Structures are given as C-alpha cells and as structure tokens.
C-alpha cells in the first residue's frame, strides 16, 4: 500500500461534509479566494502546469482545453459540467456529487472565473435524483453566502449555476450530444469541427469538463500546479478515483495516485477475487475499453501504460471478471448496452451494433455459425472510425477484444451449442 494524502476523498466520509459549514471548516472555499487574487490567465497557467488531464475518459489536458477558447469575441462563454456519468462500471462522480457537492461548486467557480464564463450548466444524469437535489441545495447554500450569483465575494464576478437533469440516454455524456440535449433537442452528437471551444452550446464558445476534473481544480489552486504534478506519474499527474466492481471482495471507489499497478489495486485494495476464484480478465477503464487478460495485471494504471498495453484508462472503472464468467455472455451483455444506447443518428453505429447484437445473441443461444466470428470482426472494422461520435468505437472492444483473447470460448459455443464455462445451454 502506498503512503499518500488523499486529495478528493480526504473528508469524503466525514458526516456533514456536504454542507457548506463543514466544507468551509475543512478548508473549503479558500481556493476561490486565492483564485480571485490571480488573474484568469494565471489560473489557466497553473492548471496547465499541474498536468491535470480530463477524468471523463479521453484524458485531454484540462488547462490546454481552456486555452483553446477564442480570444476577443463578444459571445458569452459557457461552462458545461459533464455529470452524466453513465459508462458501465463507473460511479466516482456520483460519490463526489452526493458527498462533496461544494468541492465541485468551488471547482466550477474557479474554472468559470478562469475562462470568463458567467453561466455554468451541470448536466447531471437523470437517474441521479439525490445527486441533483444535493447540488441544488449546495448551490443555494453557496448563493446565500454570496459565492454564487452576482458579484461573488464582492469581486465583481457574476456566476450562475444551473443544474439540468438528463432524460436517461448514455449518449448525452458525449460532449456534443450533451450540448444538443441541453439546448432542448434530441441528444444527437454533432460533427466536429467546429469544436465546442469555438462553437458549442447555443453556438457559443463552451468548455466541457468532467466532475472529477473540476473537483481537482480547487486543490491545484490551493497547493500549486507543481504539487499536483508531483503526484502520480510525469504524464498522468495527480490522484485518480478508481471504481472497482465485478467479482471482487471489496468493490467501491478508491482514490490512489496515478500509476499504481492493477494487481495492487485488485489484491491490496480490492481484497482479491470473490469466493476464492481465479481472475480471468479485467476491463480497466469502463466497458468501452479493450479487455486485459489475467496475465497482464502488472500494468500501471495511468494513461500511457494502459495505452501501451493496448487498452485505455478511460473512466478508470475497473471491472474484474473471474473464471466463472462466460466471455461470450459478457460481450453479448455489453453489446446489448451499446445497441440500446446508440442514438441512431449515423449508419455504422445504428446498424452495426444491431447486427453485432443479433449475431452474439445467436452464438449465445447455440445458433452460432463458423463464419460468425469473421463477420463480427468485419463489422467492428466497418464501424471503427467511421462514426460521428466515439460511441461506435466504444462498442467495438467488448466484441473485438473478447474474440481476440477468448476465441476458444466462442468456438466452443459455436461448435457445441453450449457454453464452455458454465457447460450448459444458455437461455434467457
């Protein structure tokens, strides 16, 4: 176990941390005060220095994203907080929103000040009813203390924060679909370019950041970018909340420095595999990333190391799969999710996920045919890179990486009309 001071989760279990008084007692809202003593460009500079990378999945450097805003145009700038946490296996933002809402608000205040934005939207997943009420309550608390609204802390800065609950679509976590949805339209992604920083919400320059990303901002301002950069690895700085789930003894959120090994995460922190079973595979970054087989768990959990291992850190949702799980079943289950959540706007994703699901359904139900696997791989090729947004690409790993790594299970299904793992036919 590594020795380190928790950043985001330091007070997470302290009762009352979701109220403004406790938050202030624990050092909250100091960073915004400090931020007001800096000019906006200095804040962006500090965040660039910290090396903070987006925690939503893509890992784009947050400070650099802010610096893409066009200078000297007379349109308003918007900040959208992506709280539409829907990636299967991911539940970190939910905990932050419910237990540390003021940390998020402080992050929003500093970011809004840095990017000269006066209206911020929190697009929260519709199912997070409690989270939305926590946020609304916390915003009102902050408003009553003069931290939100007109002339924040008497510094002449205006900020309004609007909480918007989504309607229950995974796609609305994609940044352009999020904006379309926020504008009141059906949640369809938009073609990029133009990128949101140039033309986003209502055609205005827009910055979209993940909840966890913004929660890091107050700490970077308080303690400096250099401090943050000293945590984790040189290119993946800071700490990261890992969401452990699956066949593991102690599932949950774990805040750890970037670069910790997957083995340590599973066995030291997660307490090992449930019921004494053997580990079979791990999905390290949410269902949209390629699967890692059990022999590869010495990989370090940071953006670069996982990319090198052929997968991605994604949202750091670590899904642990033990030997009792049929990988065909797992692929079928995940594909069902993507087929259900495809928005239907562009052809490859709409039709491709549907086709893959049909084939997987047949294989899973003992009706597979020998050429099905080649067909599945071909469909993956035809989806990959050809869609408007990343959802199409996200649907591929569940199929492709399970076929690549567990082809014997597929072949057994097709040849024997039953499952190799459970040794029985599967029926729904």
Phi, psi of 30 (to 5 degrees): -80, -35
Q: Which of 262, 352, 398, 410 binds another protein (CB under 8 A)?
A: 352
- Give the residue with the Cβ less far from another protein, 1 or 191: 191
DSSP 112-170: HHHHT-SEEEEEE-TT-HHHHHHHHHHHHHHHHTTSSBSSGGGSS--BEEEEEE--S-G
**Binding residue for another protein, selected from 119, 136, 186, 405, defined by CB under 8 A:** 186
Which of 117, 297, 363, 388 binds another protein (CB under 8 A)? It is 388
Q: How far is the CB of 314 from another protein (least distance, A)?
A: 19
| Tokens 């492709």, residue located | 400
Helices (H), 278-371: 303-308, 327-341, 347-364
Facing residues of 252 across strands? 244
**Number of residues in contact with another protein, rule: CB under 8 A?**
32
Contact between 333 and another protein by CB under 8 A: the answer reads no
Which one, 284 or 348, has the nearer CB to another protein?
A: 348
Using CB under 8 A as the binding rule, whether residue 403 contacts another protein is answered as: no
Q: Collapsing DSSP states into helix, strand and coil, what is residue 318?
A: strand
d(CA 164, CA 179): 11
Q: Is position 368 an interface residue for another protein (rule: CB under 8 A)?
A: no
**Shortest distance, CB of residue 400 to another protein, whole angstroms?**
15
Residue 191 as a binder of another protein (CB under 8 A): the answer is: yes
Q: How far is the CB of 161 from another protein (least distance, A)?
A: 28
User: Binding residue for another protein (CB under 8 A) from 52, 248, 306, 359?
Assistant: 359
Gap between the Cα atoms of 66 and 79, Å rounded = 10
Closest C-alpha to 181, from 199, 201, 195, 161: 201
Q: Which residues in 344-376 are b (16+ Cβ under 10 Å) and which e?
A: ebbebbbebbbbbbebbebbbeeebeeebbeeb
Among 90, 342, 401, 402, binds another protein (CB under 8 A): 342
Binding residue (CB under 8 A) for another protein from 76, 355, 377, 411: 355
Asked if residue 115 lies in contact with residue 79, where contact means CB atoms within 8 angstroms, the answer is: yes
Asked if 386 touches another protein (CB under 8 A), the answer is: yes
User: By CB under 8 A, is residue 180 in contact with another protein?
Assistant: no
Q: Out of 8, 139, 161, 346, name the contact with another protein by CB under 8 A.
A: 346
Instruction: In the chain, count H helices and then E strands.
Output: 17, 9
Candidate segments 85-93, 144-152, 227-235, 374-382, binder of another protein by CB under 8 A: 374-382
The window from 112-120, 154-162, 270-278, 344-352 that contacts another protein (CB under 8 A) reads 344-352
Which residues, numbered 214-273, are part of the site for another protein (CB under 8 A)? none
Residue whose CB is less far from another protein, 51 or 348: 348
Pairing state between β 317-322 and 119-124:
unpaired
Q: How far is the CB of 360 from another protein (least distance, A)?
A: 11
Q: Which one among 95, 106, 341, 364 touches another protein, defined by CB under 8 A? A: 341
Binding-site member from 369, 408, 415, 425 for another protein (CB under 8 A)? 369
CB of 202 to another protein, least distance (A): 13
Neighbours of 226 (CB within 10 A): 12
Question: Judged by CB under 8 A, which of 351, 404, 411, 426 binds another protein?
Answer: 351
Is the Cβ–Cβ distance between 324 and 419 less than 8 Å? no
Which span (65-73, 102-110, 342-350, 417-425) binds another protein, by CB under 8 A? 342-350
Please select the residue that binds another protein; options are 104, 292, 313, 343, rule is CB under 8 A: 343
The whole-angstrom separation of Cα 75 and Cα 232 is 38
Residue 75 within binding range of another protein, rule CB under 8 A: no
Among 47, 169, 179, 197, binds another protein (CB under 8 A): 169
Cα separation, 209 vs 214, whole angstroms: 7
Strand-strand pairing, 206-210 and 252-257: unpaired
Q: Is 358 in the site for another protein (CB under 8 A)?
A: yes
Compute the Cα dihedral for 9, 11, 13, 15 and give only its sign. negative
| List of residues contacting another protein (CB under 8 A) | 169, 171, 186, 191, 193, 339-348, 350-355, 358-359, 362, 369, 375, 381-382, 385-388
């Amino acid at each position: 176990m590594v020795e380190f001071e928790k950043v985001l989760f330091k007070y997470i279990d302290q009762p009352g941390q979701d109220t403004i008084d406790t938050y202030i007692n624990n050092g909250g809202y100091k960073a915004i005060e400090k931020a007001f003593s800096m000019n906006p460009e200095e804040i962006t500079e500090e965040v660039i220095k910290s090396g903070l990378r987006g925690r939503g999945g893509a890992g784009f450097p947050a400070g650099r994203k802010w610096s893409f805003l066009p200078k000297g145009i007379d349109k308003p700038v918007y900040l959208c907080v992506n709280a539409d946490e829907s990636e299967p296996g991911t539940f970190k933002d939910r905990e932050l929103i419910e237990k540390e809402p003021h940390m998020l608000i402080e992050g929003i205040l500093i970011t809004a000040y840095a990017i000269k934005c006066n209206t911020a939207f929190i697009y929260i997943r519709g199912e997070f009813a409690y989270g939305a009420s926590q946020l609304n309550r916390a915003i009102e608390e902050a408003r009553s203390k003069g931290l939100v609204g007109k002339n924040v802390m008497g510094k002449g800065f205006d900020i309004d924060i609007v909480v918007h609950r989504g309607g229950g679509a995974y796609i609305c976590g994609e940044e352009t679909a999020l904006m379309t949805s926020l504008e009141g339209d059906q949640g369809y992604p938009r073609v990029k370019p133009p990128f949101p920083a140039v033309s986003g919400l209502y055609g205005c320059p827009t910055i979209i950041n993940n909840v966890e990303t913004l929660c890091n901002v107050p700490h970077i301002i308080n303690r400096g970018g250099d401090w943050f950069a000293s945590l984790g690895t040189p290119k993946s700085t800071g700490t990261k909340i890992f969401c452990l789930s699956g066949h593991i003894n102690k599932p949950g959120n774990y805040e750890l420095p970037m670069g910790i090994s997957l083995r340590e995460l599973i066995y030291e922190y997660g307490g090992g595999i449930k019921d004494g079973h053997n580990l079979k595979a791990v999905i390290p970054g949410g269902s949209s990333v390629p699967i890692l087989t059990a022999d590869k768990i010495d990989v370090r959990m940071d953006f670069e190391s996982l990319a090198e291992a052929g997968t991605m850190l994604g949202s750091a949702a670590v899904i642990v799969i033990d030997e009792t799980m049929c990988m065909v079943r797992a692929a079928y289950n995940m594909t069902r999710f993507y087929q259900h959540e495809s928005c239907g706007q562009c052809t490859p994703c709409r039709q491709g996920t549907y086709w893959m699901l049909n084939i997987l359904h047949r294989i899973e139900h003992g009706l597979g045919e020998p050429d099905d696997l080649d067909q599945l791989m071909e469909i993956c090729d035809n989806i990959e890179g050809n869609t408007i947004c990343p959802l199409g690409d996200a649907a591929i790993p569940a199929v492709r990486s399970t076929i690549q790594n567990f082809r014997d299970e597929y072949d057994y299904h097709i040849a024997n009309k039953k499952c190799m793992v459970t040794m029985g036919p599967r029926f729904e």
